[in-house]
């Protein structure tokens, strides 16, 4: 797939937070086969603690997708995006503007406005949004080439709460890259996302908080491949009644 | 003068942002700065004159999802 002109073959975008150790983070990134990792910006301490993490991540050679996590307004998100562009040297920004404290739902009104401001300023915006079609339309008009609908609240691991809405998004935006961002808990959720026609999945907690993060990173990668292959193989439609799969022709009468 | 650095009040002798970062110990190259919510590019730090009560934010790479 082409993300703002960059060819990416892996369908997994991996977050870098909450791992048991930097070593396990590095191993999980490798095991996942991902080509894009997400990062954030936080207040620096005078001992330069942020630089150590950045060195670890840079050594992986992956594409960096900085986020605006924790921002609650257009102004905060725009300033954070500019700071991220300078530090990471990328025009990519995962635009995240939180609108609700409990479910971390995106503030889609601020999101559209920030997406417009940043796109006009040369940023390539990856908006964390809902599955709302109208919001999706407005984000595309604002300059986005990618939409990242949530599957469930961030960090909840509930899987896809509204598969019908994601299916509708796929139908409504046939040419737009759709990445499920947030809510994936298990490999089966990742399979489902790909079967619904999503182009990729962005996840973090599902891997970082698994008992074996490296093993789960591998499992997620396999799941994405399986779901995508299944989608391309055009699955059968469910039927209400049983239909024998074994031929009945020539069946012996033994009763 | 006193400015607010990452939400903490600090007394500094420096007049410019560039000097203040050094004085405050922010020597890493992997930082970005904002004053009063406005991004200040690296190239502009030496020219930005600080004022009493300015809110300085110094951000660095961190784990994120």
| pLDDT tens profile A182-234 | 999 999 999 999 999 999 999 999 999 999 999 999 999 999 999 999 999 99
pTM: 0.92
What's the whole-number mean pLDDT along residues A49-72? 90
Contacts of A57 in chain B (CB under 8 A): 61
CATH number of the domain enclosing B32: 3.10.20.30
Domains of chain A in sequence order: 10-232 (3.20.20.70)
Domain residue limits at B9: 2-59
Could you read off the pLDDT of A80-112 as tens digits, one per residue? 999 999 999 999 999 999 999 888 899 999 999
Number of residues in chain B: 65
Evaluate whether A13 touches A179 at the Cβ level (below 8 Å). yes
Mutate to test the interface with B, among A22, A24, A39, A43 (most CBs of B within 10 A): A43
- Return d(Cα A217, Cα A227) in angstroms, integer: 15
Tell me what pLDDT residue A249 has.
87
Q: Does residue A48 register a pLDDT over 70?
A: no
Distance in angstroms (rounded) separating the CA atoms of residues A217 and A235: 26
The verdict on residue B65 lying in a domain is no
Q: How many domains does chain B have?
A: 1
Touching check for A46 and chain B: CB below 8 Å?
yes
Tokens coding A247: 């031929």
Active site residue A94: yes
Query: In this complex, do B59 and A48 lie within 8 Å of one another by their Cβ atoms?
Result: no
């Amino acid at each position: 797939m082409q993300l703002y002109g960059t060819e990416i073959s892996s369908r997994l975008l991996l977050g870098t937070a909450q791992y048991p150790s930097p070593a396990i983070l590095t191993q999980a990134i490798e095991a996942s086969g991902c080509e894009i990792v997400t990062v954030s910006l936080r207040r620096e301490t005078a001992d330069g603690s942020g630089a150590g993490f950045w060195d670890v991540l840079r050594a992986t050679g992956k594409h960096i997708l900085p986020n605006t996590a924790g921002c609650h307004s257009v102004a905060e998100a725009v300033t954070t995006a500019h700071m991220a562009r300078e530090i990471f040297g990328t025009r990519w920004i995962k635009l995240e503007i939180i609108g609700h404290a409990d479910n971390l739902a995106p503030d889609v009104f601020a999101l559209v406005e920030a997406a417009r401001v940043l796109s006009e300023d040369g940023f390539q915006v990856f908006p964390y949004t809902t599955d709302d079609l109208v919001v999706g339309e407005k984000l595309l008009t604002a300059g986005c080439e990618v939409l990242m609908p949530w599957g469930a609240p961030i960090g909840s691991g509930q899987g896809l709460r509204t598969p019908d809405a994601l299916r509708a998004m796929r139908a409504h935006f046939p040419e737009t890259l759709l990445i499920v961002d947030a809510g994936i808990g298990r490999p089966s959720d990742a399979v489902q996302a790909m079967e619904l026609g999503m182009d990729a999945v962005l996840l973090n907690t599902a891997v970082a908080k698994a008992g074996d993060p490296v093993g789960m990173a591998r499992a997620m990668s396999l799941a994405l491949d399986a779901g995508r292959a299944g989608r391309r193989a055009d699955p059968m439609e469910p039927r209400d009644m049983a239909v024998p799969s074994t031929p009945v022709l020539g069946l012996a009468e033994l009763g | 003068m006193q400015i607010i650095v990452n939400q903490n009040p600090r007394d500094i002798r420096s007049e410019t942002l560039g000097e203040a970062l050094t004085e405050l110990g922010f020597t890493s190259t992997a930082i970005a700065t904002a004053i009063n919510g406005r991004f200040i590019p690296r190239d502009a730090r030496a020219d930005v004159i600080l004022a009493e009560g300015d809110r300085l934010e110094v951000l660095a790479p961190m784990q994120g999802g």
